[in-house]
Amino acid sequence: MKMKEILMTTTENIPGQHYEVLGEVFGLTTQSKNVFSNIGASLKNIVGGEIKAYTDMLHSSREKSIARLKEEARKVGGDAVVMMRFDSGSIGTDMQSVVAYGTAVKFVTQID
């Protein structure tokens, strides 16, 4: 069975759609890098430049949080998530938490 695609938007309105608000939904993940990545990051910190392992970790975290956000929207019967945002923060020195959140909505047919 194919899961329905959940539309994601950072805007409040979806052009051409009317919908009812179902409520807030979110997707959260917390990730860490292994000790070797941490050593590499420490060395990179001395010379400067992008720390690729951490960039990859944050990218992966955002993707996982979006997937979990979509799943939460499906669970409440949503067709889309409006006003989607990200928030992130560090936990200790080697963990990163990322949350994607927004408002789940269900499309309705407008009767004129």
Distances (CA, A) of 33 to 37, 66, 72, 97: 6, 20, 26, 12
Q: Starting at the edge strand that comes first in sequence, how are the strands of the sheet with 95-108 ordered?
A: 7-8, 80-91, 95-108, 18-32
7-108: CATH homologous superfamily?
A: Hypothetical protein apc22750. Chain B (3.30.110.70)
Residue 91's pLDDT band (boundaries 50, 70, 90)?
confident
What is the model's pTM? 0.78
The alpha helices in the chain, defined as continuous H runs, are: 35-47, 52-75
The Cα 14–Cα 17 span in angstroms is: 6
In this prediction, residue 74 carries a pLDDT of 96
Q: For 46-89, what is each residue's pLDDT tens digit?
A: 666 777 777 888 888 999 999 999 999 999 999 999 999 999 88
Would you say 27 and 66 are in contact if contact means Cβ atoms under 8 Å apart? yes
Closest CA to 10 of 80, 75, 71: 80
In this prediction, residue 18 carries a pLDDT of 95
Q: For 8-57, what is each residue's pLDDT tens digit?
A: 999 999 999 999 999 999 999 988 765 555 555 555 556 667 777 778 88
In this prediction, residue 90 carries a pLDDT of 80
